[in-house]
């Protein structure tokens, strides 16, 4: 009988003790999983270096990054038939979806536009190429200005012609005003696009025209 009373008293004492919530929380499988799990975003920011993040970026033939410098080469010299193929559509779509990802890791941008002789391409093809440049510049325009250290544009063509140079018009809409541009004709040395010069005046005027005179 006494043994039975002892058992009952022991149970009452045990149930009357305050619960150790800290130990219960740490011993719970659900709480442990919640405590130890880390989102992929946190893992990246915590454990990945900039070089590791860069290495994990999707690749594109027009994009090449070294450190915080992104080089973008838009080569418009392929034959006209290429621009009617699915390969070009895939190239353009991939470029416009991949470029924003690289900009998040970049502070300097080098853009090279390469053209064949203007006589070898139709007007419709040149318009297609301008649209590619315009779309890419539209993405670059969203790049936070405070994070930019420099934007350099190089236009290359065997013979400089307005029908191709017009591709530079969208750059006049960049929020970063410190961008520079050089035009290289054939084997000649690249010449800097000077404010108030012939090409600058035409490009600036065309930009204002396309923007409705604003």
Residue with token string 């539209």: 138
Domain ranges of the chain: 20-52, 57-210
Q: Which of 8-17, 72-81, 116-125 has the lowest mean pLDDT?
A: 8-17
> pLDDT of 151-160, one tens digit each?
999 999 999 9
**pLDDT tops 50 at residue 101:** yes
Token pair belonging to 76: 């418009």
* Cα torsion 152, 158, 163, 164: sign: negative
Contact 113, 152 (CB under 8 A): no
Sequence-distant (6+) residues with CB within 8 A of 174 are 137, 140, 141, 151
Per-residue confidence band for 134, with pLDDT thresholds at 50, 70 and 90 = very high
Higher pLDDT, 131 or 15: 131
Question: Does 194 have pLDDT greater than 50?
Answer: yes
Please give the backbone phi and psi of residue 18, each rounded to the nearest 5 degrees, phi first.
Answer: -65, 145
Residue 74's pLDDT band, with cuts at 50, 70 and 90, is very high
Answer yes or no: are the C-beta atoms of 109 and 72 closer than 8 Å: yes
Over the stretch 29-73, which tens digit does the pLDDT of each residue have?
343 333 334 445 545 555 577 778 888 889 999 999 998 999 999
Question: 195 with 208: CB under 8 angstroms?
Answer: no
d(CA 85, CA 178): 37
For range 82-101, the mean pLDDT? 96
Lookup result for tokens 């930019």: 148
Mean of pLDDT over the chain: 82
């Amino acid at each position: 009988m006494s043994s039975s009373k002892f058992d009952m008293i022991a149970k009452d004492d045990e149930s009357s003790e305050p619960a150790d919530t800290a130990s219960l929380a740490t011993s719970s499988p659900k709480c442990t999983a919640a405590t130890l799990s880390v989102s992929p975003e946190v893992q990246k920011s915590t454990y990945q270096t900039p070089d590791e993040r860069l290495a994990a970026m999707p690749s594109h033939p027009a994009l090449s990054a070294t450190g915080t410098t992104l080089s973008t080469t838009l080569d418009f010299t392929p034959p006209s038939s290429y621009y009617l193929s699915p390969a070009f559509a895939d190239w353009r779509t991939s470029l416009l979806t991949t470029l924003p990802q690289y900009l998040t890791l970049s502070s300097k941008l080098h853009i090279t536009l390469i053209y064949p002789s203007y006589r070898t391409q139709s007007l419709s093809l040149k318009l297609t190429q301008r649209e590619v440049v315009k779309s890419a510049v539209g993405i670059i325009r969203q790049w936070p200005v405070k994070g930019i250290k420099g934007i350099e544009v190089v236009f290359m063509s065997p013979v400089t012609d307005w029908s191709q140079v017009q591709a530079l018009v969208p750059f006049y809409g960049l929020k970063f005003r410190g961008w520079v541009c050089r035009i290289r004709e054939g084997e000649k040395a690249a010449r800097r696009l000077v404010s108030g010069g012939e090409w600058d005046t035409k490009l600036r005027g065309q930009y204002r025209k396309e923007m409705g005179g604003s």
